[in-house]
Structure formats: structure tokens, C-alpha cells
Chains A and B, each alone.
Chain A
Amino acid sequence: MGYSLEGTLLEVCTCNILCPCWVGEDPDGDGTCDSVMAWHVDQGTVNGTAVTGRTVAVVTHIPGNVLKGNWKVALFVDDKASDQQNQALLDAWTGKLGGPLADTASLIGEVVAVERVPITYDLSEGKGTLRIGTIADTEMEPYRGPTGVVTTLNESIFTTIPGAPAWVAKASKYVRKSSQYGLKDIDLKGHNAIQGNFRFEHN
């Protein structure tokens, strides 16, 4: 009943730059957040099943402060996952295996769908593309300092690897077609995107 997972995660949302949720504050705008999040496993196992290279994504409505929970979520596993990997990832991300991922899952109030779809997670240092089936299509570029180095946010409250950066980016494209799940459609430019690192371990 354990997992050891590391990789990068991406959040694209309706907040302005920079998403206040990353420091535990309320979403800006109308106080709610409609986001797309994805976790790409660079290296990891769940209950002995290797899940390296796999991506899990959620399309979510967060009704207020991120830590207050009651998220409404559609959950997606990338369709390159074998049946065994799919089950292992669902068990981990829905909280059945306990540990830090169960802490995240406890913020979810309602899971409206669980599906396997093609997921493109082509991101490095806040630059790239995330696509979730035909449901979400996003592109982003990071901010940079005067020497060209990517702007980072470090030691935010959600850090799971102390000292590891989160790359602060802007989504030139955030299109979400999710009304079939009761999650509103989005078509935005110039809003928040942040890519970070994660390490989740539980025995």
C-alpha cells in the first residue's frame, strides 16, 4: 500500500498572474477558480506498478479558497496507461492509498467523471503545451528575468520538494470544453499558468 512518485505538475486557471492559490489566498476575479491541473510522473511506482511517463489530469471547479475543498472534478488518466497502471493511478489520486495524495483528494467534493483519454504533457520550465483529450487545450510561456532565466516561485505553501522551483508562466491559450461534465467552458488568453515539481511518498 505505498507509492513513490516524482515529476512535474501544471496548473492553468482563470486567475490573473500570479494565481493567489499558490500562496493559499483566495482566487482572484470572482473568488472562484476554474482550472486544469496535470501531474506527469517522471519516475514512480504505485504498489509495485511502474507508472513512469504517465500523466493524471483533472478539470476542476474550485468554489473558493483552494484549501477549503469542495472541488468539483473530472479526472483523466492518459490512455497510454495499461489497465494495471490505470488502476494504480486512480487508487493513488482518489486517496485510497493514503498519504499526501489522499490529502489532495480530500479537497475534492465531487468526482463527476473518470475517463481515459490521450494526454499531451509537453512542458519544461513553464513552456509548452498541455492537452487533455478534446477537453482542454493550453499553451504557455514563462516569464523571464533580465538575463533570460525563467522566473520562479520557490518555497510556496504547496511545495513538496523544498528548494525546488515552480515556473511562473502565462497561458497564451486556455481552452476548456467541459460543459458536458457540468464544468464551465473556458476560452481565455493571458491568464495564469504555473508548472512545479512534486514528490509524493507514502508507505
Chain B
Amino acid sequence: MASIGAVVAKPLRAAKHGDRTFTSIAFLSMLWLALAFAILCLGVLLVDSFLDGRTRLDSNLLTRYTSRVLPDRAGARAAILGSAWVIATTAVLAIPLGIAAGVYLEEFADPRRWYNKVIEVNLSNLAAVPAIVYGMLTAGFALAIGMERRIVLAGGIALALLVLPVIIISTREAVRSVPQEIRHGSLALGATPLQTIWRQTLPAAIPGIATGAILALSRAFGEAAPLLLLGGLVFVTYDPTGLNSGFTTLPIQIFNWASQPQLAFQQVASAAIILMLVMLLLMNAIAIFIRNRYQNKW
């Protein structure tokens, strides 16, 4: 509390007369207001979710399936497992491809060649494409090759396409920050470029890549739109049995519950939201931990 007071009082005690004018202080107040508004919104959202959902933060939420018959005991088990399956699929598809593409673009591609320029522009465009379009792409793709649209694999592909640009970009940033000396030393010792990358550059860049990958996956975890397009709103009361099985995810389940008017579903939706937020915070915390602990300081 004392530090907040200090922060607030600092400009008022400003040495320069110019910072104590009415307009300056009014300006600063507006800035505080803006910041306070943002933080207030976050606070209200969290508090409101917690108040609504705290009665349902019980073991049933984790172990039971959603229920028509007993909405008070509805649970998110199918959604949690579905999310786990889909995110795992996404990770397996997107991370190796993303790292490979990022490594190529950063280490080997000559930026003056036209095709590499095209890839550059392309990547920044892809990162801004609305998520639902990736769902449409996957739907079209699934149709073309005769794959069912409502299965885990299709969901994994859609989300992998969504996060691929992000992983590529963060791989590039991580690889770029590895100093050239490391590479030169390795080459001087007789390693081939690929060996250099595999044994020196990449391991050095792993913390940055891991951070980027975790943040990308946490984004995928929270996405519902592309998956809605593939499978629609499905009332699912079973665990996914494999890549070929139907599924639902936490965001979809929350969307489903939010559309039901009964109070019991509202409460369980709030509880599921708390669950999701906790998991997301955890993922973000892990990413920050990795970054702080393992980041190499050159």
C-alpha cells in the first residue's frame, strides 16, 4: 500500500514545476483511469466467474460427464479429456513442423530471394487470419480426402494450422538470438551446418522455442471457433477413444452450457471457466519459468 502511495505521489512531488501543472496532472489521471479500467475489467471478470462457479468447484466437475438428467451434477470430464487429446495432437503436428520451418527460414534462406520474401509476407498474413477460417480450411481438406470432420484428428489439424505461424515466428526469434560465434565455433571444428544446428544452435534456442510453443498451445487450448465448424455442438458423454473418435473441448462445452438457460448450467459453466483460467495461468507460468530459468544470457 505504501508503494502505491509512493507511485501516486511521485509526480505530485515532481521536482519540475512543469509536471505539476493542471493539464499534466489531468493527463496523468486519465492514464491511470485507462489502466484502472483495464485492470478493473479483468478483476470483475475473475471475481464474477468465481462467485458464480464456486459452488460447482467440486470433484464432480472433473469426473462426471455433462448431463441432461442431472444438471446439478454435470461435469466436464469429456471436455477435459477431449481438450487434452486435441492439444496433444496439435502439439505433435505443429511443433516439429514449426521448428523445422523456422530453422530453415532463419539459417538457410537467403532473404533476397523472391520465394523467401513470399514466405515472409505469407507468415505474417497467416498469423492474422481469423481462427474460424482455419476450421473452414480443415473442413474442406477433410472433405477432399474423405476424412470425417468430427474427429480428434481433424480438430488437431485445424488448431495446428492455427498455431503454426506463431511457432515458426518464435522459433525464428529464438534461433536469431543465438550468437554467430557458437555457429562459427562448431563449423570451425568440422561440423556440417546441419550438425551445427542440431547439436549447438537448436539446443541453445530451446528455451525460447519452448516458451513460444507453450504460449501457442495455450492459445489453441482456448479456441472454440474452428472446432465448432468441424464438429458442431455435440452432447458428448464419453472419453475420446483415439484420433478417430468424436470429442468436445472445454471451450466448446462452456459455449454449450452458456447457451442453456438453466441456472445449474450457468454455474457449472462458470466453474469450468475457472478451471480453464487456472490451467491457462499454469501454462503461462510454466512458459515464463522456462524463459527466466533457462534463457541463456549471451
Do the two chains belong together in a single complex?
no
| B positions within 8 Å CB-CB of A | none
| A positions within 8 Å CB-CB of B | none
